[in-house]
Structure 1
Amino acid sequence: MTEPALSRLLDLVPVHLLARDAQADGGTGPLTALLAAVAGELELLEADLDRLHDGFFVETCAEWLVPYLADLVGLAELPPDLGVTVSRRALVANTVAYRRRKGTVAVLEQVARDVTGWPARAVEHHPLLVGATHVNHVRPDRPATVSLRGAARIEAAAVVSPPGPRGALDPLTHTAEVRRIPTRRGRYGIDHVAVHLFATQAYEVGAPEADPPAGPNGGWSAARAAADHWTFDPLGRAVPLYAPPRREESVERLATEADLPVPLRPRRLLDLLGQARAGALAATALPLGVRLRVGGVDQPDLTPDRIRVCHLEDLAPGPAPQVMVDPVAGRLKVYAPAAPDAVFVRYTHGGLADVGAGTYDRTAAHEALLATDPGAPVTADAPDAPPAAGQTQVCSGTPAPVGSVPTLAAGLAAAEASWAAPGSTTRGGTYVVSVADSASYPGDVAVTVPAGTRLVLVAAAWPTRRRPDGEVLAPVPGRYAPDGLRPHLRGSLRLTGEPGSSVVVDGLLVEGDVVVAPGQLGHLTIAHATVTGAVRVESAAGRPNSRLQLRLSRVVAGAVTLAATVPVVTVDTSVLDATTGGGTALTGEGVHACLEGSTVRGAVRVRSLDASSCVLDGPVEVAHRQVGCLRFSYVAPGSRTPRRYRCVPADDEPGPLPVYAATDPASPAYPALAGSCPLPIREGGEDRAEPGVHHHLRRPLRLRAAQRQLDPYRPVGIELGIFGS
C-alpha cells in the first residue's frame, strides 16, 4: 500500500545510510521502518490534497460539493436527488453558457437534457402552422395538405418512442389549436414551444465498437426460427428495432433523429444501407448486422448489399446468401442456396430500465451482489488470480476459446465433476460457470450443489487484455466481465442444493422455469434475468428447503411459486406478470414476502407481507395481517393486507385503477405507468415517484425538475410544454 511513497522517500536518503541500515537483523533497519511509517501518512496527505484539488472543479468534485459550486454561479435551486443515473454536475457546469444563450430553442433543449439525463428535442411550432402567405413571401414548405409522394415525411411524422408521444420529429404542417400547450392537450400555436423527452434507452446487442469485444463472437445474438422467417428477438417476439443514437457534437445544434433513441424507420434503414453500399459508411456503423452458420461453420458477416429492406427494395442479383429485413416487426427472411443451421444478428432494441436479461453493463451490480450474497465468499490472493476456486467458460461459437465447453449442460457437468473429484479444492468454495456468448442453448439443464458450496452462473466472458502499447494479451481464466451478453436457455433450469449451499444466477434469459428441487439449498439469488415461466421451489419429506432465502433483483418473471416450508422471499425492482399464466403471481403459505419497487400483475397469497413503492395489480391475500406494512403502493380493490401507509386506495374502498403504457413484454415501455394513469397512482411512490419497477427512475421528479429549471430560460410570451416519459 505504501510502496510508491516509501520508494520515493528512500531515493532521498544517501546510499551509505541505506547500506548501513540494511545490515540490521532481518534486512530492515530502524531507518526503513521509520520511513515506512512516514510514507503511510504521506500517502494519506497526498490523497487529501488530490481530493482538495479536485473539489475546485465541477468536472472532478465529489457529488456533495456540487451545491456549493452552484452557489458560486448563482444557481439558487438545484433539482432534488433524481437517482444514481442522474447527476446535477452538468446543470451547474453549463449554467453560465445557458445564460449567454437565454431565450433560444437550443438552450431549452440542453437544459432539459442536463436536468433529466434523457435525450431531448425542442420544437418551435410556429413554423409548422398552416397559414395564408403573402404573394411576395410564398412558403412552399408549409403546404396545407400532405403530399402522398413524400413518404419519408409521412413516415417521420409517425415516429414514436414509447412511452413518449408522437410529434417530436413531425415535419408536416398543422392548423392552429386553441388548447394551451402547458396542459399537454394543445400543441400547435404561434407562441408554443414543445420539449420532447425520450426516456427510452437503446440497448445494443453485439456492439461493434466494444473494446474488448463482448465474448469471442462479439456478443451477437441468436435469432429465433419461425415458420417462414427469423426474429431478431430470441423469444420470437415482434420487437421493433432501434438505431444507436449518436453523441451530439455541438449543444448549439438541435437534436435530429440520429441523436435520439427512436425506432428504426424502414426508409432510414434503406438510406443507411445505401450509404454503406456506396462506401460512405462503414458496415460496422450500420444499426444491424447478420451472420449465418452453415454446416456448423460461422460464415462472414453479410455485406450491406446482401441486406435488403422489406417492401422497399427487391432481392439483389446473384446466388450469394441475402436477407430481407423488417425493422418494424424485428423480423428477417433468409434467401440462401442452403438453409442455415443458425442465424446470428447484431441489432439494437429499446427499453426503459436495466431490468431483466440484457446486454447492459452489470459489473458494479454483480460485484455488489457477490459481496452481499450470504453464500461462500470470493477470494483472490493475487491480482491475476481467478476470483473463484473453480471456473468454466461456456461458448457455442466457432472457433471456440481454448478451455471452453460448447453447451451449458456441459459447463454444469464440469462443475459437478470438479466437486466430485477426490481431494477437490473447489468443493466448499465458489465455482463460476460463465456463458461467454448470446447464443441459444436448447434443452433443460440441472445441477446439484454440494454442501457449503456456491455456484455462480453468470452471463460473462473472459475478456482479452490490452497493454498501453496496444498489444493484446490472452484472457485470464476465471476473470470475467459481465457486460454485453444475454445468453438464452431454451429450457428449464433445475437446481438441487445440499445444506449451506448457494446459487447465483445473473444475466440469463430463461425460456422456461427455474426450479429448486427438494433439498436443503441455503440461498438462491436471481438477478438481471428474465424467466418466461415461473420460479418454483419444491419440497419433500426430509428435503424441505426450509432454510432457503430467495432473492429476485431486477428480474422479469412469470410467477413465483413457493413450497410452504420456504421462510423468506425478497423481490426488488422486478416484474412478476402472471396475467397469461394462471393469474397467481406470488404464492407461498409460509413465506414472509418483502417487496421493494416492483410491479406484480396477478394474485399474491403469502403468510406475511412488507411492500414499499409497489404496484400490486391483483388480489392480495395475507394470512398474518397484524405483521408487516404496505407503504406508498397501489393495492388492488378487495385485497386483505396489513396496515397501509399512504397507499392507493387507503382502505378497502374502490379507487382508481392503474393504466399502463404497455402490457406486452415485447414493448420498450413494458410495464411502465402511462401518462394517462390517475395522478394518485402515477405519483404514489415514495418521494412522489412512480411506484412499481420503474420507481428508481424517478420519472415524475425529473419532469417536475425540468419544468422548474426551464422556466427561467423561456422567452417572454412563449408557452412551454413538456412531452414524453
Structure 2
Amino acid sequence: MNANLPMGDWLYDTLPEVYRLRDAEQGYPLRAYLAVLGEQGDALWDEAQRLYDNQFLETCEPWLVPYLAALLGYRPVHEIGPVSQRALAAQWIALVRSKGTAATLEEVARGATGWPARVVEFFQLLSHPQYLNHERAQVHGALDLRNAQRLEDLGTAFDSAHYSVDAGRIVRGEGLHNIANIGLYLWRLRPGPWPRHLALRMGTRRYACHPLGLDTQCFNLPLTEADRRSLAGPQHLPIPLSRRRLHEDLAGYHPRAFRIWIDGIEVDPAALCICNLSDQGAGWAHMPDILVAFDPVLGRIATPASQAAPNRVEVLFHDAFPGDVGGGAYERAAGFAEALAPLVPVNLGDNLQAAIDSVQTGGVVELRDSERFDGAFTIDAAADERIELRAANGERPVLGLTADCTITGAAESEVTLNGLLIAGGALVVPDNGTNALRRLTLRHMTLLPGITADPDGTAQQPQAPSLVIEAPGVLVEIERSVLGGIRAHPSTVIVIRDSAVDATERHHIAFAALDGIAAAGLVTIEDSTVIGKVHARVFTLISNSILDAALDPAGDTWPLAIHAEDTQQGCARFSWIPSGSRVPRRYRCQPSLALGEALRAAKEANPALSPLAIATIERRIVTPLKPAYTARRYGRPGYLQLLTATPLAIRTGADDESEMGLWSHVHQPHRESNLAVRTEEFLPSGLEASHVYAT
C-alpha cells in the first residue's frame, strides 16, 4: 500500500479495470463505498504508525517521555525554560555511560539547572603530608602571598589554596573542605550585551560604558567548551571580570567580552591597559599617559593624555541580570505588534519626535540603535488608533528625557512602549480636558527609579514617581518592567506582572493618588516585587508577590504601609505582605500564615495565652520572616534577587513552590530540586555534593 494515498483511493486503484469502468458508468457508487471503508482503514493505519513511533524516545508523544525514560531509571524533573523532558532524558541516557566523573557532574548540573556550572572536588584542596610514592606538587601547606591571582581567587570556584579538614557535612551547610565533599558552583546571573554604542562622556578623556553614567560591573561572555570531558574554566563561565584577571589574560576575553572604538577605530589589545579608574577627588585615579585604560569593575574608559581628546568613544560590553526583565537586548520579538503599520525606523541622528508624530494615526516607531536619544518627547494617538514606540529586537536604546514625556490620545486609543530605558523624567498621562487615552502598556521597560542616579546608583530624586496617570479611566498594563513610584487617578486600572515597582526605600510611596496620600485605582499585582508604601482603592489580586513596605520610623502621615479602601473585593494569595496591612482576604500569605500556625499551636498547648505571650510569639515569628536581597539599587547585577538566607517560606512560597516576587519566573527552587535529583544519580558512592552560588 502507498502510505501517501488515502486508503479508499488505494483500494479503488487495486480493483480490476473492468469494475472501475462499470462503476464509472453508474456514477461511481463503488468508489464512494470504498472511500467510506477507507476512512476506517486510514484511522487504523495512523494508529499503527503512532504505536510504532511511541516505541522510541525521539518520536514518541510528549506524555510518554517519562514512562519510556523510566524504563532506564530516569526520573522526571521540573521543566525549566525551553528545555523539554525529551531533551533531558536523552541527555541523561548519554551521560549514564560516564557516571562518577567530575566533568559528567558538571554537565549534569548545567542540564538540571540551565545555569553554567563548575565542579570543585574539595578533597583535592585538603592539605596533608605527602606520600613519597604519590607526590602532589601542587599541594602546598602555606599560600604564596606573592601570587596575587591565587589570593583573588580565594573562596571562589577557582580557589587553589589548601585547607585543613572541615568535619561538617556539605549537604547541611556545615562546611566545604571535607574528604567526601564536592561543590557544584552555579552562576545564576545571565550576561546580557550592550551592543555597540557611544560611551557617555563624564569629563575630559573620561567615559562611562553605561549610557546613564552608572558604574557597571562587566561580565564575561562564556566561551563554548571544545571538550565536554574537561572542567569549565573562567573563560567558559559568565564571571564578573576582575581587573587582575583581565590584565593577566586579556587575550582570553577580548574581543569576545568587550570592545572599544576611538573615533571609529577599534582599540588594539596592545594599546589597551586594564587598571583601577576609581574616583579620586574631582577626577579618576590612574589616568593613563600613553594607553587607553579600561576598568571592568566600574565600566569606565579613559583615553591617554598623550593624544588629543577623541570625538567619539564607542564600546560593546556585557552586564548581567537574573532574568529577562526591563529594557534589554534579549529576545522580545514575541511581544511586538506585528500587524501595526507603518513601521518607521529611527537611528541615531534622526528626529525621534518627528517619527513619533508621523504615526499619530497608528503605527510603530522602532529605535534601531543602542544609543541615547535625548530630548523632551510627546506621544499623541488619534481616535481608535494604536501607537507602539519600541526598541528593535537585540538593541538597548536609552531615552534621556530633558522633561517629562507626555502621552495623550483620543477616544479608544492605545500606546505601547517596549524595550526602552528611560531616565531624566517621568511618563505622564496628563488630564488636559481632552485626553481620552484608553490603554497604556509598558512591556520590557525600565523607568529609572529615582528619575536620575549618581554613578554608584544612588537615586537623585528618590521620592519622585516614574509614572503619573492624571487622566481618568486609563487601563495601565506593566509587564516584565522595572520602574519607580506610581501616582494615579482613582479610576485607573493598573495590572502589574513580572515587574518591580521600586520607590527606592520601604517607607517611600510606591503607589498612591496624585497627592501622594489618597487611594488610587484598582490594582492587580502578580509575580512582582513592590518596594514602598501602597494605598489603593481595591486590590483586585495580589499573587506570588512581595510588597516590601514600612512606615517611616521618623514619623509618617500614613496609618498603614499597605492599605486598601475596599477589602470586600479581590484577594491576596501566596504573597509576602507586611503585618498589619489592610488587604482583601489572604490565602497562604506570609508572615500571617506562619504567625497563625504558631498562635494556633500555642493556644492548643495553653488556651489562656496572655497578651505578653502573644506579643512574644509575634516578634519571634514575624521579625525574621522578611525578604532580603542581594542588591537593592537598580544597576547592580543582583537587583532584587532574594538572598539564600531569606526564609524558605518566602523562597518557596509561590503557588508553584517557586519564590515570591519579581524573579518567580526564574524558578530557582525548581532548579535546586532538579539538581538534587540528578546529582544523587550521578554522584560516586560515598561522596556528598551541594550547590554553591557563585553569583
TM-score range, shorter chain: 0.7 to 0.9
User: Against the structure 1 CA distance between its residues 409 and 641, is the aligned structure 2 distance closer, same or farther, given a 3 Å change threshold?
Assistant: same
Q: Distance between the aligned counterparts of 1:408 and 1:55, measured in 2?
A: 56
Q: Corresponding residue for 1:309?
A: 274
Q: Match for 1:226: what amino acid?
A: M
Q: Match for 2:102: what amino acid?
A: V
Of the three residues 300, 320, 323, the one matched with 1:331 is 300
Q: Distance between the aligned counterparts of 2:490 and 2:56, measured in 1?
A: 57
User: Against the structure 1 CA distance between its residues 64 and 360, is the aligned structure 2 distance closer, same or farther, given a 3 Å change threshold?
Assistant: farther
Of the three residues 92, 99, 103, the one matched with 1:102 is 99
Structure 1 residues 666-677: aligned runs within 5 Å:
666-677=635-646
Q: Is the 8 A contact 1:558 1:581 kept in 2?
A: no
Q: Corresponding residue for 1:256?
A: 233
Deviations 1:258-315 (A, max 9, x none): 1111111223323443579xxxxxx6x431111234xxxxx22222222221159999
Q: Is the 8 A contact 1:221 1:486 kept in 2?
A: no
User: Against the structure 1 CA distance between its residues 308 and 625, is the aligned structure 2 distance closer, same or farther, given a 3 Å change threshold?
Assistant: same
3-state SS of 1:175 partner: coil
Please state if 1:510 is matched with 2:422. Answer: yes
Q: Distance between the aligned counterparts of 1:444 and 1:649, measured in 2?
A: 44
Of the three residues 511, 521, 524, the one matched with 1:591 is 521
Q: Corresponding residue for 1:141?
A: 138
Alpha-carbon distance, 1:641 to partner: 1.0
Q: Distance between the aligned counterparts of 1:49 and 1:233, measured in 2?
A: 60
Question: Which structure has the larger Rg?
Answer: 2
User: Against the structure 1 CA distance between its residues 243 and 47, is the aligned structure 2 distance closer, same or farther, given a 3 Å change threshold?
Assistant: farther
Q: How many residues align?
A: 588
Deviations 1:368-414 (A, max 9, x none): xx4xxxxxxx54xxxxxxxx3322111016xxxxxxxx142232233
Q: Match for 2:197: what amino acid?
A: S
Q: Distance between the aligned counterparts of 2:592 and 2:507, measured in 1?
A: 28
Q: Corresponding residue for 1:650?
A: 592
Please state if 1:246 is matched with 2:223. Answer: yes
3-state SS of 2:691 partner: strand
| Unaligned ranges ≥5, structure 1 | 14-33, 158-165, 207-219, 277-282, 294-298, 371-377, 380-387, 398-405, 417-426, 461-481
Q: Match for 1:569: what amino acid?
A: I
Please state if 1:92 is matched with 2:114. Answer: no
Structure 1 residues 25-40: aligned runs within 5 Å:
none
Please state if 1:187 is matched with 2:176. Answer: yes
Please state if 1:70 is matched with 2:66. Answer: no
Structure 1 residues 574-653: aligned runs within 5 Å:
574-580=499-505, 583-588=508-513, 589-609=519-539, 610-618=541-549, 619-650=561-592
Q: Corresponding residue for 2:373?
A: 441
Q: Distance between the aligned counterparts of 2:442 and 2:667, measured in 1?
A: 24
Q: Distance between the aligned counterparts of 1:595 and 1:497, measured in 2?
A: 26
Q: Match for 1:617: what amino acid?
A: D
Q: Corresponding residue for 1:414?
A: 358
Alpha-carbon distance, 1:65 to partner: 4.5
Q: Match for 1:704: what amino acid?
A: S
User: Against the structure 1 CA distance between its residues 409 and 291, is the aligned structure 2 distance closer, same or farther, given a 3 Å change threshold?
Assistant: farther
Q: Tell which deviates more after alignment, 228-237 or 599-608.
A: 228-237
User: Against the structure 1 CA distance between its residues 110 and 394, is the aligned structure 2 distance closer, same or farther, given a 3 Å change threshold?
Assistant: same
Q: Distance between the aligned counterparts of 1:241 and 1:49, measured in 2?
A: 56
3-state SS of 2:359 partner: helix
Alpha-carbon distance, 1:706 to partner: 1.0
3-state SS of 1:127 partner: helix
Q: Distance between the aligned counterparts of 2:662 and 2:95, measured in 1?
A: 34
3-state SS of 1:694 partner: helix
3-state SS of 1:662 partner: coil
User: Against the structure 1 CA distance between its residues 135 and 70, is the aligned structure 2 distance closer, same or farther, given a 3 Å change threshold?
Assistant: closer
Q: Match for 1:639: what amino acid?
A: S
Deviations 1:196-220 (A, max 9, x none): 12211111222xxxxxxxxxxxxx1
Structure 1 residues 76-475: aligned runs within 5 Å:
77-82=75-80, 84-135=81-132, 137-157=134-154, 166-206=155-195, 220-227=196-203, 229-274=206-251, 285-293=255-263, 299-310=264-275, 323-335=292-304, 337-364=307-334, 366-367=335-336, 370=337, 379=339, 388-396=340-348, 406-416=350-360, 427=361, 430-460=362-392
TM-score w.r.t. the length of structure 1 is: 0.75
Q: Is the 8 A contact 1:594 1:611 kept in 2?
A: yes
User: Against the structure 1 CA distance between its residues 663 and 624, is the aligned structure 2 distance closer, same or farther, given a 3 Å change threshold?
Assistant: same
**What fraction of aligned residue pairs are identical, expressed as a percent?**
32
Q: Is the 8 A contact 1:407 1:441 kept in 2?
A: no
Deviations 1:336-387 (A, max 9, x none): 63333443210111111000111111112x14xx4xxxxxxx54xxxxxxxx
Q: Is the 8 A contact 1:635 1:648 kept in 2?
A: yes
User: Against the structure 1 CA distance between its residues 100 and 391, is the aligned structure 2 distance closer, same or farther, given a 3 Å change threshold?
Assistant: closer
Alpha-carbon distance, 1:643 to partner: 0.8
TM-score w.r.t. the length of structure 2 is: 0.78
Q: Is the 8 A contact 2:658 2:668 kept in 1?
A: yes
Q: Match for 1:577: what amino acid?
A: D
Q: Tell which deviates more after alignment, 520-529 or 197-206.
A: 197-206
Q: Distance between the aligned counterparts of 1:549 and 1:265, measured in 2?
A: 46
Q: Match for 1:193: what amino acid?
A: I
